[in-house]
């Protein structure tokens, strides 16, 4: 376990991207310029930086649903006969997408000549294009 001074621990707890603000909240005194230097030194401390990183990782795992949790939720909504049909269908769609059940198929006509792949020309929508007659 890392041992930090009370001010260092307060800095770690209050740092959210603004070192000067975190230093003020932690109880460091001085002008913004001197607090900026203090924050810079604190953030350069490897143990403090690691503590901030570790603190930042914890809330993510508690507040963001995993793939399995989302799929379980969508399955529950999809199977719940008391839900509106639109909600059940949307849940089924999201569940299918998360399992890669749907394939988007794109068809195109490519021509290859002399090793060059050419896409077919499409007239821009709404653009005036003058057609050139081939002689």
Closest CA to 50 of 6, 7, 18, 4: 4
For the chain, 135 residues long, give each residue's pLDDT as a single digit of tens. Answer: 568 999 999 999 999 889 999 999 999 999 999 999 999 999 999 999 999 988 877 656 667 788 888 999 999 999 999 999 999 999 999 998 888 888 777 777 777 877 787 776 666 665 555 555 444
Sequence-distant (≥ 6) Cβ neighbours of residue 32 within 8 angstroms: 20
What pLDDT is stored for residue 109 in this prediction? 73
What pLDDT is stored for residue 23 in this prediction? 95
- What length is written for the chain? 135
Cα distance between residue 26 and residue 85, in whole Å: 52
What pLDDT is stored for residue 61 in this prediction? 63
With contact defined as beta carbons under 8 Å apart, do 47 and 27 qualify?
no
Q: In this structure, are strands 111-113 and 116-118 parallel, antiparallel, or unpaired?
A: antiparallel
CB atoms within 10 A of CB 52: 19
Domains along the chain with CATH numbers? 6-63 (1.10.10), 67-98 (no CATH)
C-alpha dihedral sign at 16, 17, 20, 23? positive
68 phi-psi bin (left φ>0, alpha ψ -120 to 50, beta other): alpha
Residue matched to tokens 């909240």: 25
What pLDDT is stored for residue 55 in this prediction? 82
The two structure tokens encoding residue 15 = 């740092």
């Amino acid at each position: 376990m890392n041992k930090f001074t009370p001010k260092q621990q307060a800095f770690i707890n209050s740092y959210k991207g603004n070192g000067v603000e975190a230093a003020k909240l932690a109880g460091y005194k001085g002008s913004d310029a001197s607090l900026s230097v203090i924050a810079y030194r604190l953030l350069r401390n490897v143990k403090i930086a690691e503590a901030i990183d570790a603190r930042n990782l914890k809330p993510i795992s508690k507040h963001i649903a995993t793939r399995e949790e989302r799929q379980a939720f969508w399955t529950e909504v999809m199977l719940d006969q008391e839900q509106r049909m639109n909600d059940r269908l949307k849940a089924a769609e999201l569940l299918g997408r998360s399992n890669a059940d749907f394939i988007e198929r794109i068809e195109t006509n490519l021509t290859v000549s002399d090793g060059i792949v050419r896409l077919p020309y499409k007239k821009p929508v709404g653009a005036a294009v003058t057609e050139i007659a081939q002689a």
